[in-house]
Amino acid sequence: MKLQAVSNRKLYIQIADQIREQILAGAVEAGQQLPSERDLALSLNVSRPTVREALIALEVAGFIEVRVGVGAFVRDQSKGGAALPDQDHSPIEIMRVRRMLEPDAAALASQNISAEGKTRLALSIDRMAADKAQNVWSTDSDRMMHMTIADASGNSVLREMLDLLWNSRSEVVDTRFHEHLAAMAGVREHIFSDHSKVVDAIVAGHADAARNAMAAHLDFVTAAMMKAWD
């Protein structure tokens, strides 16, 4: 009986592997620009965000350089690239689950947060403001704000789930994905404004406003992740 092996590798890793093989075979040379996300998505019959995740996986493995607003360029492979990060979660899938959970966490936090929690939220916003003034973005202060809200939700299961999602945010593909987003000044400004609205609503004890502000924030980040980069 002849059976064909079934692959359970993530779709974006399968795509990255195909492009990597083409690079190693010499189909594209060092310094050459890869086809656009649009063209790659059409030829592979997948979505552009999935192609973007594949390109970022190739970038962290050292096969290409992604220049936001320009495209992806093949790097010199004379020293060989690293293994693809095939254990990483999909950044877009992580965002979708966060969108399901974090608005309700914000609403719950508005009703349950302690004075200590409010102080911690204020500190996280102060740190973000200081980073913004230096044109940088800190994942640490970002996580501090979101996990303070998770802690304040009063639901230990929800808190554990959000902690798991934020641990996934530290994986190399997700980290690089958000580094590209944070490199855009307009995105940084919008995210800081979003965070301030979320914190203000929670501190004021307004559950609906907190839920809506968090939902709007996550919708914006998701839209930024989906937006064409080339």
pLDDT in tens, 153-207: 999 999 999 999 999 989 999 999 999 888 888 999 999 999 999 999 999 999 9
Q: Distance of alpha carbon 64 from its chain centroid, rounded? A: 19
- Residue 5 is predicted with a pLDDT of 47
Q: What confidence score (pLDDT) does residue 137 get? A: 87
Count CA atoms within 13 Å of residue 19 on its CB side. Answer: 34
Token reading at 48 = 């552009």
pLDDT at 8 over 80: no
Look at residue 7 in the predicted model and tell me its pLDDT: 57
Q: How far apart are CA 155 and CA 161, in angstroms?
A: 10
Cα 31 from Cα 23, distance rounded (Å): 11
Q: What is the mean pLDDT of residues 209-227?
A: 94
Q: Domains in the chain, ordered, with CATH?
A: 11-74 (1.10.10.10), 91-226 (1.20.120.530)
Joined together, the tokens standing for residue 44 give 């592979």
**Residue holding tokens 């980040």?**
221
Quick: pLDDT tens for 101-160: 999 999 999 999 999 999 999 999 999 999 988 888 889 999 999 999 999 999 999 999
Buried b (16+ CB within 10 A) or exposed e, 17-51: bebbeebeeeebeeeeebbbbeebbeebebebbbb
Q: How confident is the model at residue 77 (pLDDT cuts 50, 70, 90)?
A: confident
Higher local confidence (pLDDT), 197 or 76: 197
How confident is the model at residue 227, as a pLDDT?
A: 82
pLDDT one-digit tens code per residue, 26-68? 888 899 999 999 999 999 999 999 999 999 999 999 999 998 8
Q: Please give the Cα distance from 174 to 57 (Å, whole number).
A: 9
Query: Distance between CA atoms of 129 and 193, rounded to whole angstroms?
Result: 10
Helix H segments across 170-184? Answer: 172-182
Using CA atoms, how far residue 102 sits from 15, 46, 49, 95, 209, in Å, is 30, 28, 22, 10, 13
Beta bridge pairs of residue 71: 67
Q: What is the distance between the alpha carbons of residues 153 and 80, in angstroms, rounded to a whole number?
A: 47
